[in-house]
Structures are given as structure tokens and as C-alpha cells.
Structure 1
Amino acid sequence: MKYTQFIIAILICSVLILFCSNNLNAQNKNNIDSILSKLTLKEKIAMIHAQSKFSTPGVPRLGIPELWMSDGPHGVRAEISWDKWEHAEWTNDSITAFPALTCLAATFNPKLSKEYGISLGEEARYRKKDVLLGPGVNIYRTPLNGRNFEYMGEDPYLASKMVVPYIQGIQQNGVAACVKHYALNNQEKWRTHINVEVSDRALHEIYLPAFKAAVEKGKVWSIMSAYNQFRWQYCSHNEKLNTILKKDWNFNGVIISDWGATHNTKQSALYGLDIEMGTGTDGLTHSLKNAYDNYYMALPLLKMVESGEIEEAFIDDKVKRILGLMFKTTMNKNRSFGKMNTKEHHSTAKKIASEGIVLLKNNNSFFPIDTIKKIKIAVIGENATKKMTLGGGSSELKAQFEISPLEGIQNKFKNATVLHAMGYSSGPSIYGEIIPTEFDNKKLKKEAIEVAKKSDIILYFGGLNKNHQQDCEGDDRKSFELPFGQNELLNEILKVNQNVGVVLISGNAVETPWILKIKALIQGWYLGSITGEALAEIISGDVNPSGKLPFSFPKKLKDNSAHYYGELSYPGDSINQYYKDDILVGYRWHDTKKIKPQFAFGEGLSYTTFKISNVGANKKVYKQDDKIIITTTVTNSGDREGAEVIQVYIGKPNSKVNRALKELKAFKKVHLEKGESKTIELQLNLKDLSYYNESISNWELEKGNYTIFVGNSSQNIIKKLNIIIK
């Protein structure tokens, strides 16, 4: 009886919530229509372009407030001056720096993505931001892309599953997420003008799914356009892309241009751009040409509407969308006050960092290192001390604190003698410039070798950093190998001491010619405020690593799909770029072309062992409305707790179209105590196996035989199942 009453109560609450939600939406629509009728054309035009670097104006006479935005996929950016690209030098804008989105993707844990979004949204709300410019979901196509660290890897399914809870977490605080960069912004080199040519099939199967999920499942309130062109129209006012977004996906939010990504008044009006930001780089400070009233969607658009060249209805649609966004954010009377730099936020940042760190090699159980032993540990490498919350372009952060890897090791290994040598220096982190180092790198290398000689264990912290032409906005890396002479330094260290574990701090894959010589390798990402503590807990074994790579590590650059086809495929000829790899991006390329990667998508080791058994499917033959349910038993057969990620890939042998050997279609992270077993289910819809048929401009589910691959990485498949779709 009590159970029945409980169910009835839940149903009543659900109906009331739905009623209130519908009533509120209707009320907001009425309010929007009422406000629109009171706005002058000039006031409407003012609302659709910037008034400062990061704000758009309201309408004071009607009580409509300004709309304030901030960069922030990994934390809320420090305050920027009204008209200049300079810090405002506030003293109260230091924040919690969360791990980069590559690390979040490596957790393969959507629940953590929700926590990330909630915490970040709370900090944005406390800082009185209405729109947070993130997350980024551009597909990892080349390891040279300077901005890959801001994105969620090479697989559209993984990115789709991770982006939705992130958005929901941010927006429950009354702050709009702004998913970026829509679309095909897969490199920084020539990003402001390069014209991307890609098939409709690759567009829909690889490069758009995460954006689609953000709109249809995440209900995101805003989207940021990309800089580049697609089929000779800039993405900010691209007729095809924005038709897909607003009509095919029914996106009812706001399209915001990337800063300076608008190029045409008429196309902006007709092809879907709602807010123009950053046109010209100096605002009011240098010339009338770049003043806000001279933006493409400012006075030039006003004149076109007044002359009858553009219908006012196009402006009304933009203003309605902006007002709709405002009622959810800046005019939302019910949103919380937010909070910043709390213990809960630090805890969330640490959990994400810990679950995202990936153990890639561990010969003779080099890791974990016993904290009780009285040994000499050499911590070598600039990345052991370099602040990684600084730099990187617009994702730079002013963190309240940042625990370095060296600090983390020193605090964790109290019984050890921790020696430190910088080893190399990259120079200061300056956006858009390469500043030579003031250090003598020959001297630094010599000091590192001397430290290595007298140590029992060497922890080498290297990789990339957020300097220009590294993991940084504005340009791509110039080389796949480790920069700043690190390969030579590592080889010299290995000559005097072979007990070396490497920790790569980066948001990109790097070439690893020394991989056979070292004992162990950790991919450590950019981990934010709690970097050193999270790494030390993995290295010491206090936390068992469970991260999985969200992208492939090719052995050499030519093994990557974008680079295989030569310069026209990447980086283009400075005018055009052709995605000749089509749908075969990342592991799809490696699998289908039988090019073995150095480390595979989905790969990651643990300090315990897992057994995957009893893999089965609910049916052998499926009809189109059926669901595929995969069951498997996962057993922790080792001697400590840990977590494994079960991954389900689907392939279509003898397809009538070119396909990848297999594609990720489901995954689940399973936490197990030592000796524990769990039987889990992974479910997918048959429509998820469809391909984009260009001849009908729609998705098609091909009938016939399919193969289900179940494993714990794209290269480590435990079981194959054959099914039939009729």
C-alpha cells in the first residue's frame, strides 16, 4: 500500500512539474512577445552585437539587463578589460581550475561530467556570468592541433555521451553553456579563413554528432560558431550548417559568433547568426572602423532593414532567441547565487583528475611506488614545476592555487629524498609569441644527468605545455616529437639510470621513440588546481588508475589519417583543405587500414586485473524497432579495488558502403572491490547503427550481418558476437 501511495505521489509531482514548466514557458513566450512589441528597431539591433569584449547591451528603459559572457571550458577566465585584450586586474577573480576536457573524456564517466558542469556552473554564477563559452567538442583529427586539449577526443559517440551531462550541470545554475566551435574547426593553423571540404557523410557521422547531442539531449541554450569556412561560407553565417542546427535539430537557442568570426552583414542576417562578438580586435580603443556600432550586425544591418533590403522579421527572430536566453539566465529570478573555490569544487576537480589519468606502460610494476621506502627519487623535467593553468589562449586561468607535480611528490613521499632538476626550459608562456628562455639548456641537462646518476628512481615530467605552437590556441604544433630537446635529454638520462618512469603532461599525443627503454608511462593531461596531488596519489598507489585514452597515439605522424594524404588533407594549402580521410578518423583509420597505433583509443592499464566473461546479446536476429542489449560479467581478479571500462563496438562486414571496421556504440565504467564480480548491461538502439546516406540526405539502417566487438580498448577485443538485422 505504501509503495502504491509513493508511486502516486511521484506521478502527481511529475505532472505538477510538467504543468509548471509548460506554464512558465508559455508565460515567458508571452513576456517575450510583449517585450518585442515595445522595442524600437535600434534597440533590437543593439541587442544582437557586442557592447564590450564580453557583453551585449540590455534595454535600460524596459529593465532588460546586459548579457555577460566568459571564456571557461575548464574554469571561469579572469576578468578582461572593457575594450582591450588585457586583464582587468581584479583581486577577486581567482577560481578553481578544473582538468582539461581531454582528461574529462578520459574518465569515460558521464556522472563525473555532470559533477564537472555543476561545479563550473556554480563558479560562473558566483562571478555573475550568464553565458559560459564552452565546452568544446571538435573532433580530434590531428595530434598537431593546438587546441585539442580543450576537446573530448576523436570519437563522436564518446564526445556525445560526455558533453550532455556537462551542459546539464552548468545550466542547472542558470548559466548557459555555449558549445563550440560549430563546426569543422579541427586545427588552429589558418583557422580564421581556411575553407574545409568534407563529405556530407563524414560531416554527419563524425563532426556533427556531439553538437547534435548537445542540442537534442543536452538542450543547450547557446552555440558558438567556428572561424573557418565550410564550402566557401564562413561558419558564423553558413546557410547549410545553421539550417541543420535550427531546422533539422530544432535548436531554439542563440548562435554566438566566435570573436571576430563574422564577415558579412546580409549573410549574418539571413543565415542564422544571432549575436556578433569581437569583430575587429580593438573595440573602441584604436579606430572608428572597429567600434561596436560598426559591427556587421550593427549600423550596416540597421540601414539594410530601414531600406527594405532585409525584413525586420529576421531581426525579430534573433531578439526572441536572445530574450529566451535571458529569461533562463540574467532575467531568471530563481537562479542561485553560486559559489566559488569550495572544498566540494576542489574535490570534484581531484576526482576528475584521478579518474582521467591514464597508465599506458608499467613494466615490472614500476608503479605504484611505495611511500614507506627510504629511497632517492629524482623528479626531472620542466613540467614538474611549470604552471599549466596559465597560457593556452582563451582557456587561460587565474587559479586560486595550483599544486605542482613536484609539490605533490614531496608531500606524498615523506620518507624519500626527493631531488629535483629542471632538465630543460621552454621559455615564458606568452600567447601568440615564442619567447626564448633565459636558462642555459646545456647546463640544465648536465644538472639533470648528475641528479639521475645518484637516484634510485627517476620520475620524468615532460610533454608539452601551453606556450605558443604547443597546446595553445592560435596555431598548431610544428612537430610530433617532444619539444625543447626532451628526446635527447631522456636518452642521456637512460644511459646513466634505466629506472625511469615518464609522466606526460599534455593534451595531445606525442611521438615516443624511447618507449621501449623506459619502465613506465603515464598520460597526465592538464589537471588544473589539484594537479600534483592527483598525480602523486596515482604514482603512490593511493588511487588506482582507471583512465582510458580518448584518442589514438600513432607511432609516427604519417600513421595518422589526416597526415597520410599529404598537405592538402592537413593543413591545406592556406586556402582549401580536403578531409580525404573522410569517415576514417582516429581508431577507425588504424583499425580499417591495419595500421597499429603506439597506444589505442580506449587503452589504459590498472594496478589490478580484470576478467571480462559471459559476453552475450539478448537476440541473434533483430527487427528495426528492437534494442540490442549486451550483457557481460566483469570480475576484479586482482588484489585491490579498481575500475574497468567495458567498450562495445559495432561493425558491418560486406556493407554496400565504405565503413570503418568497427565504431564505438556503448561503454560503461565499472567500479569493483578486489574479488568482486558484476554482471552489467549495455544497451543501444538499432538506429544508432545507421549510416548517413548522401543519396537521400538522411540516415539509413542497412540490413544484414553485423559484428559486435566487446573489450576494454579498440585494440583489445575479448569477444565477438554475430547478429542479423532484418
Structure 2
Amino acid sequence: MSEPDVENRINGLLKQMSLEEKTSLLHGNSKFNTAGIKRLGIPRLHLSDGPHGVRRETEEHSWGPVGWEDDYVTYLPTGSALASTWNPALGRLFGETLGAEARHRNKDVILGPGINIVRTPVCGRNFEYFGEDPYHVGKMAAEVVRGIQNNDVAACVKHYALNNQEWNRGWVNAIVDERTLREIYLPAFEETVRAGALTFMGAYNRFRGQWCCENKYLVNDILKGEWGFDGVYLSDWGGVHSTRDSALNGLDLEMGTSDNYDEFFFARPLREAVEGGEIPESVVDDKVRRILRVMARIGALDPATRKTGARNTAAHQKAVRAIADEAMVLLKNDGVLPLDIHKTLKLAVIGENADKKHADQGGSSAIRALYEITPLEGLKRRGGDMVKITYVQGYRDTGDAAAFEPIGEPYVQTVDPKAGVRCWKVEYFNNRDLHMPPVTVRYEKSVDFDWQERSPAPNVSEDNFSARMTAEIKPTASGTHHIGLTSDDGSRLKIDGKVVIDHWGDHGEEQKDARVELVAGQTYRFEVEYYDSGKGAMLKLGWVTPDSSAADPEVVFAAALEAAREADAVLVFAGQNHRYDTEGVDRRDIRLHGRQNDLIEAVAAANPRTAVFIISGSAVEMPWIDKVPCVVQAWYAGMEVGNAAAGIVFGDVNPSGKLPITFPKRLEDVPAHSIGQYNDQDCEYREGLLVGYRHFDTRNAEPLFPFGHGLSYTKFTYGNLKVDPATLEVRVSVKNTGARKGKEVVQLYVHDVQSRLPRPVKELKGFEKVELAPGETKEVAFRLDERALAFYDADANRWVVEPGDFDILVGSSSRDIRLKGRLAYAGRKKGPL
């Protein structure tokens, strides 16, 4: 159907609607769906997380899972992993896979990709995002959008805009100057509009004091005005704060967390505002048109002709493997990798992340994966009978609730009076201060709850509730008991009336622990108090007893060193997990948790053939880097991560990933922390344009690893640089001078030799991934546009490109520039940039 026909159809439907029917389309009518209008043949709009796989099916009116057995999906590599491929074709494959799976699950809108610029490595959601450079992020994200929407599913680009931290994301006010906004934080969003993105999601945070879901400048003036976006601008869940301002300033669809749908700002309050003359009905009509336009473009109004999608296919699993293969970044390699599978008879595999699965964690992006092959499993599959693998965890993550055994039988002595079994007594209150009487009393076998955003028990509200858990506990061993209490929001533990752990206050999922001397056979009264303030709830109490095999961390540490000494080679799988890389919470630092740093250094000293794989969503400190010969950044690489890691280890795959972010040596080296502000109130981006490599290269500061860095098992040489000032075309020859086939990412940076405004010393304006056989040479061509030479003039409120000389820098990373040429730009012809 042509666009004029679509618009005529929309106008015809709109004329038949009452005001109540119109507004019914503008807000959620369940957790992830809107209402339809049956008499007009308008269906419900079905939305779903997430950016690297379709979320498990949830109940209509609560956050609990439906309990289906057929909502398993393909677990794709996360955003930071995809971005590390520097391969837009894989971005398209990623989008095609995600779109097909979403369509097969009958989804209309998939809530991704997330493309906020990585301003600080501590942002808990960096694993979902694509990096620090707007050009690179935009090119990768645009292909993801095209791939998703080729399957009759709308992509939802998020979070617009400046959602660069999770810390107090619902309140923090981003204060950013106009030039920085335009040159760093908005271009990737603009690129997805050019790619045809059908929906955008507004961010929780404020920008210049105004909520992003009701920010006239961001939405009406820029997104819908300057960029011509004609799709739907929807809120993040619970991100709307007004009716009038949100309606007039560009929000089209309100999604929320409450199940009182008629009280949404865009439900009854919007109807009444229109009826009272406060908001013109034409404003509502425009929103309805946008929603119907999206429905028409994805085929939702004509379901008989719509694509049906596919899920969990061999092709999708192959796609995941292809992306994971190119995502892994070889950061350092002093001859350790690849291992010769015929000569490596004994391999020591060390670290929690060698055998840990990550799919079903991380916040709203968590999914129910069809399978997830861990690195340990992948190595065993590839090594087969040829390699003897010894696995030792090496350390316990005492910051992880899973490291503690739930306190249930045989320790609990309290008895459920109805069932006659030993349980904790749990009292629930519909207030945050445990104010009596309880609305519900239950008995549970242990304190091990992950309520998320649903009611914990009958008659208990989903948010702003509290609970008290009590039990008589009798230890079976005397000595030091290591107790861990993990909660999302406030919790405390009392033993015999004495507060042992106090973690009262609003916070994301965090854990506190204590070591307590207890006597075997003696009974103690344990009392846990908890409250939830909204946006997710969980509570876990556990311990490590003196007679537990996990009690002495020195035992597992020593076992790792012994395994390392006896092995021909060692692989340490270190890094983070989704307790640290997660929605709603920022990391407090970029150090590896637990004793990982000590373990890595000790293992490398015990065996010089040690390679460290870091599984994380963002940068981590590596104080041991000079003592370890080989490091690979493996990210969260999806359901095939284990097979991909094994391919890198044994040389079946030549690594070709490049960093999409700068790895700093220390957090205080990051400009957001050393120059700008990082706080939870009015946060000034004082570093301006100097984000990531723009800071490190302009200030000549030394990073741990630079933006764009990534090694190979082969070598590439560059030559024959040609620059054509008339066509703005750049050509360069690249040759594989090594003995292995490999892929190289050729990166083009531009330096403005003389500008009336200060500019970063170099900026990425082109990249191309090329595959070369040994001895093969290929010519790589770049066609620049004038925007690549321009800066944003805030006084003139437009992009400006000045006549003059520009250095063309071509290389293998932002710090590994191989060739330099000069472009003499004569001047701008007429027309906007």
C-alpha cells in the first residue's frame, strides 16, 4: 500500500472514532499491550523487551511470567558485543534475527536497540549499548533497525535521550551544552530516523530540567521537527509525569507499571483535558495517526499478508555464532593464543565465568534462552578426547547471593502450624514501615524471593510494601558463619534482637554480609525486615557455615594455582556478571569483584602460558596487565559464547573484534569523573565533546586500551592512500602479510587543521571491515559527506563546515594511525547539512 493510501485509510478510521476510543489507543492496557478497537478492526499493539532477545511471556496485569513452556528464544550477543564486530552486515543479521523471533512471538514492537552513548564505564546498562562514538553507534544501530523492521516488527530506539547512567535515572537532570548535545549524544538517534525507525522510547531522566517524555525541545523541535520523525514516541514504563505537558510536547503513547489503566495520564485525565478545552483534540488526532501509521507499516492492520517470523532456528543459532566470533577482542597476545590442540594435553580452566550463564539476568533485557553454551562446555566440546580439562572456580563471589546457601532445613526450627513443616514465618504489610497488622501471613522454607514488580502474596500491593520474616535457627556446626543479605531496597537482619546487618534505605540489588560466631545445637531467633519502594523487589538471606566445603576461600584459591602449575596452558574466565552489569544500578567502580585480580596475577605467575578472558559489558581495570601475556575481551556474547571462545582459543577463528569504547587504566581517568560531573541530581557534562577517545587523544592521556583497538593472529599493512577533494573520496590499500586468513577493520578519522571553534584532535568518520587471505591485498574506499567535516555552531543553531585543510587519518585504532593524508576542502555549496 502506498503512503498516500495509508494516510487516507488512517483518516477514514480516525473520523469514525469517539474521543474515548482515540485516547484508548494512547496508553497501555496491560503490562505490554495497548487496547484495540474491535468494531473498527484495529488490533491491540503488542510490545516486548528486549534488545538482544524477546522477553519471556508475562502475565497481562502483573510482571510475573505466564509459565509457558514455549517462550524460549535465541539469546543474541548484547549491544556492546555486537558493536565490537564493527560489521554493519552483522548488525543487519542481528536485527533480522531479532525481528523474526519477535514476529513469531506475535510482537508488534521490540524495545530496542538501546543506543545511548557510553559516557562512563560504571553505567549498569552499558552492556546493552553500542559504544562511545556517535558515528560508529549510528551506523551499527541503523542496520539493526532495518533488520528488525524487515520482519514486519517496529524497532523502538531507546532511550531518547541522555540516559547515560542508571543511578537515580528517574530523577537525574542532564545538563549538556548545545554543541555537545548535537555532536555527541544525538547523531546516532538521527541516523536511526534516517534508517526508518518507527518508534522511539523516551528516557526516564530529565534534560535541562524537563522530563524527556515531555521535553518539547528534544521531541517536538528536534525529533519530529528537524528530523521529520513521523512514527510513535512512547514512554519508558512509568516515565510520564503529566498529562498536559506530555501531550503538548510530543509524547504519543504512555506505558506504565500500574494496572489502574484508566488513571494513566493519557487515559481519563487526557479525555477530560480535551473535553475541558485545555488540550486541542487535534493533538490527540496526531497521536492516533502516528500509532495507526506504525500499525499499517508493519502490517498489523492487514494480518493476512503479514510475515509470520521464525524462532529458535538453526539459521538464528548460526547468526549468533557469527556475531560472537567477530565480537571477541584480542587485547593482548604475547604468543599464547591460539593453542595447538594437538600439543595442549592438559588445560586448566579457572574462574566463575567459565561455567556461568547470563541470559536470564540484567533487568528488562533478561530472556529465557533456548540454551547457553558456557565457555567450559564449549572448550570441552572442541577439545574432546584430545585435551584433558581441569576446571577450578578459583574464588567465590561473596558479593553474589548465589554464593550463600539459603537458610532452610535442617537449620529452621519454626513450624508452619497448618502444614506441620519447618518454615520461616513471613508477615506482609501494605506500607513501608512494617506498621501492624499484617495483611497476609505465610510460611516459606527460606528467605529467597525474587518478586520483581509483582505482588509478593495475595492482598499485598506490588510496590511500597514491607515484610518481616522470623524463624528459630539451630546451627549444626560451631564457629564463624558468613551471612549474606541481598535486597533491592531496604533490609536488615537481627539475631536475638541485635542488628547484625543493616542495609536500610532505597537502593538497587545490593548485598551486605557479616561474620557471626554461632554455637552448634543452640537456638537463635533470626528476624529479617524488608521494605520495597517500587521498581523491582527481591530479598535473599543465606550463609556459608563452618563445615561447608565453600567456607575457606583459600582452599579454592590454592586449588586453582595447583591446576595452573600442572597444566600446559591456563584460561582464566574473569569479569563481571549481571549482578553488576544490570539495569537500574550503576557499578561503584570498575574493579573486578572478589579476589579475581589476586587470582589472575597468581595464576599467571604459576604458569606463563595464561590467557585471561574478560566477560563483562563494559571496561574493567586490569592492574595485572603487565604480568599477563594474553587478554581477550569476550563481552556477553550470547548463547554460543562457549563455542566462540573455543574457536578463538584453538585458532578455528581469527579474532577480528575492535573495542567500541576506550578502556581506561583507572576510573578517575574517565573525563565524566575527572572533568565533568557524575551525580544523581543536576549532572553537568562539563567534559563537553571530550567523551572517550576524544578526551584521551586530545589530552594525550594514556588509556589501558584505546578505542578501536583489537589484535589478530595475522598482520596487516596499509598503503597507497589517495584523497580526492572533489568527491571527498578516500582510498587505501590493505594487505594481509601474515600466514592466516583474517579480517581487519580499517578506520578513518578526520582532524580539522584549523577551526574557529575548538575540536577534538580526531573523530571517526568511516570504517570498513575487510577479509583478506594470506598475501592478499584489497583496496578500501570511503565516501565522506560534508557532515563528516562539520561542527555544530550553537550560536547559529546549525551545522557548519569551513573551507580549509583536513587531515585524513587511516589506521587500525584511534591510536594506531598507519597513514596520513590531507584534504583541501574548497567550501560549502548551498543547502543544509
Same fold (TM over 0.5): yes
Partner of 1:307: 276
Partner of 1:450: 562
Q: Structure 1 residue 693: deviation in Å?
A: 0.2
Partner of 2:7: 29
Q: Structure 1 residue 491: deviation in Å?
A: 2.5
Aligned length: 681
Q: Distance in 2 between matches of 1:205 and 1:320?
A: 31
Q: Distance in 2 between matches of 1:687 and 1:524?
A: 34
* 2:326 is equivalent to residue 355 of structure 1: yes
Partner of 2:440: none
* Native 8 Å contact 1:627 1:686 kept in 2: no
Partner of 2:131: 153
Q: Structure 1 residue 488: deviation in Å?
A: 1.7
Q: Distance in 2 between matches of 1:463 and 1:332?
A: 47
SS of match in other structure, 1:236: helix
* Native 8 Å contact 1:105 1:550 kept in 2: yes
* 2:665 is equivalent to residue 555 of structure 1: yes
Partner of 2:428: none
- The 5-angstrom pairing of residues 170-209 of structure 1 reads 170-209=148-187
* Native 8 Å contact 2:394 2:557 kept in 1: yes
SS of match in other structure, 1:214: helix
Which has the larger share of strand? 2
- Of 82, 88, 97, which residue of structure 2 is paired with 1:119? 97
Amino acid at match of 1:516: D
- Of 544, 555, 562, which residue of structure 1 is paired with 2:654? 544
* TM-superposition CA deviations, 1:135-184 (whole Å, max 9, x none): 01100110101101101100000011111111111101110000000000
Q: Structure 1 residue 437: deviation in Å?
A: 7.5
Partner of 2:820: 720
Q: Structure 1 residue 428: deviation in Å?
A: 4.5
Partner of 1:392: 362
Q: Which has the larger radius of gyration?
A: 2
Partner of 1:692: 792
Amino acid at match of 1:404: T
Q: Distance in 1 between matches of 2:704 and 2:319?
A: 31
- Of 204, 208, 217, which residue of structure 2 is paired with 1:240? 217
Amino acid at match of 1:129: K
Q: Structure 1 residue 687: deviation in Å?
A: 2.8
- The 5-angstrom pairing of residues 64-83 of structure 1 reads 64-83=42-61
Q: Distance in 2 between matches of 1:475 and 1:332?
A: 42
Partner of 1:292: 261
* 2:604 is equivalent to residue 494 of structure 1: yes
* Native 8 Å contact 1:377 1:418 kept in 2: yes
Amino acid at match of 2:707: F
* 2:572 is equivalent to residue 460 of structure 1: yes
Which has the larger share of helix? 1
Partner of 2:684: 578
SS of match in other structure, 2:233: strand
- Of 583, 600, 606, which residue of structure 1 is paired with 2:712? 606
- Of 434, 437, 444, which residue of structure 1 is paired with 2:510? 434
Amino acid at match of 1:488: D
* Native 8 Å contact 1:425 1:437 kept in 2: no
Q: Distance in 1 between matches of 2:563 and 2:297?
A: 57
SS of match in other structure, 1:670: strand
- The 5-angstrom pairing of residues 404-419 of structure 1 reads 404-414=374-384, 415-419=386-390
Amino acid at match of 2:213: S
Partner of 1:640: 740
Q: Distance in 2 between matches of 1:36 and 1:616?
A: 56
Q: Structure 1 residue 725: deviation in Å?
A: 1.7
Q: Structure 1 residue 356: deviation in Å?
A: 1.1
Q: Distance in 1 between matches of 2:379 and 2:758?
A: 50
Amino acid at match of 1:196: A
Q: Structure 1 residue 519: deviation in Å?
A: 1.3
* TM-superposition CA deviations, 1:273-304 (whole Å, max 9, x none): 011011xx3x23xxxxxx11111111111111
Partner of 1:379: 349
SS of match in other structure, 1:545: coil
- Of 229, 253, 267, which residue of structure 1 is paired with 2:206? 229
Q: Distance in 1 between matches of 2:222 and 2:302?
A: 29
Partner of 1:14: none
Partner of 2:616: 506
* TM-superposition CA deviations, 1:607-656 (whole Å, max 9, x none): 0111111112123xxxxxx4311111111111110011111100112321
* TM-superposition CA deviations, 1:75-113 (whole Å, max 9, x none): 111011212222221110000101011111111111111
SS of match in other structure, 2:349: strand
Structure-2 change in CA distance of 1:402 and 1:437 (3 Å): farther
* Native 8 Å contact 1:498 1:517 kept in 2: no
- The 5-angstrom pairing of residues 39-54 of structure 1 reads 39-54=17-32
Q: Distance in 1 between matches of 2:694 and 2:203?
A: 25
Q: Distance in 1 between matches of 2:249 and 2:730?
A: 43
Q: Structure 1 residue 497: deviation in Å?
A: 2.6
Q: Structure 1 residue 25: deviation in Å?
A: 1.6
Q: Structure 1 residue 528: deviation in Å?
A: 1.0
Q: Structure 1 residue 686: deviation in Å?
A: 2.1
* Native 8 Å contact 2:154 2:197 kept in 1: yes
* Native 8 Å contact 1:173 1:336 kept in 2: yes
SS of match in other structure, 2:640: helix
Q: Provide TM-score, normalisation by structure 1.
A: 0.92
Q: Distance in 2 between matches of 1:370 and 1:690?
A: 50
* 2:77 is equivalent to residue 99 of structure 1: yes
SS of match in other structure, 2:9: helix
* 2:394 is equivalent to residue 423 of structure 1: yes
Q: Distance in 1 between matches of 2:733 and 2:602?
A: 46
Partner of 1:9: none
Amino acid at match of 2:378: G
Amino acid at match of 1:106: S
* Native 8 Å contact 2:677 2:686 kept in 1: no
SS of match in other structure, 2:2: helix
SS of match in other structure, 1:596: coil
Q: Structure 1 residue 443: deviation in Å?
A: 3.5
Partner of 2:530: none
Structure-2 change in CA distance of 1:65 and 1:213 (3 Å): same
Partner of 1:20: none
SS of match in other structure, 1:57: coil
* 2:506 is equivalent to residue 529 of structure 1: no
SS of match in other structure, 1:30: helix
Q: Distance in 1 between matches of 2:401 and 2:199?
A: 35
SS of match in other structure, 1:528: coil
Identical positions, percent: 44
* 2:425 is equivalent to residue 318 of structure 1: no
Q: Structure 1 residue 496: deviation in Å?
A: 2.6
* Native 8 Å contact 2:714 2:740 kept in 1: yes
Partner of 1:164: 142
Q: Distance in 1 between matches of 2:582 and 2:150?
A: 30
Amino acid at match of 2:562: E
Q: Structure 1 residue 424: deviation in Å?
A: 2.3
- Of 253, 264, 281, which residue of structure 1 is paired with 2:242? 264
Q: Distance in 1 between matches of 2:777 and 2:803?
A: 36
Partner of 1:710: 810
SS of match in other structure, 1:529: coil
Amino acid at match of 1:699: W
Amino acid at match of 1:419: T
* TM-superposition CA deviations, 1:211-238 (whole Å, max 9, x none): 000002x100000010100011100110
Q: Distance in 1 between matches of 2:620 and 2:267?
A: 45
Amino acid at match of 2:290: R
Q: Structure 1 residue 416: deviation in Å?
A: 1.3
Q: Structure 1 residue 374: deviation in Å?
A: 4.6
Q: Distance in 1 between matches of 2:660 and 2:171?
A: 28
Q: Distance in 2 between matches of 1:632 and 1:374?
A: 40
- Root mean square deviation, CA, Å: 1.4
Q: Structure 1 residue 55: deviation in Å?
A: 0.4
Q: Distance in 1 between matches of 2:731 and 2:824?
A: 18
